[in-house]
Amino acid sequence: MDITYIPMARGFVYLAAVVDWFSRRVLAWRVSITMEVEFCLEAVEEALARHGRPEIFNTDQRSYGASGEDQAASSP
């Protein structure tokens, strides 16, 4: 799972993509004008429904707008 933003004429949109890094194939993706969690979950759920559960699931490790508690909980 990776999230990035795409500059537009007025502001930007967010792109969430679920990628199979071995084949480099995009399994599912969604765009949104807000950084809400729902569009990310929709992409993950679609990828799981279409391709099944992976042996390894890796996410981008950067934290966008996460609270201090969330960041502390995800730190090694």
Q: Got the DSSP string for the chain?
A: -EEEEEE-SSSEEEEEEEEETTTTEEEEEEEESS--HHHHHHHHHHHHHHH---S--------SS--HHHHHHH--
Q: Tell me, what's the pLDDT at 70?
A: 47
Global pTM? 0.71
The mean pLDDT of 59-69, rounded to a whole number, is: 57
User: What is the pLDDT confidence band of residue 8, given thresholds at 50, 70 and 90?
Assistant: very high
Ordered by start, the domain boundaries in the chain are: 2-54
How much is the mean pLDDT over the chain? 83
The mean pLDDT of 37-58, rounded to a whole number, is: 92
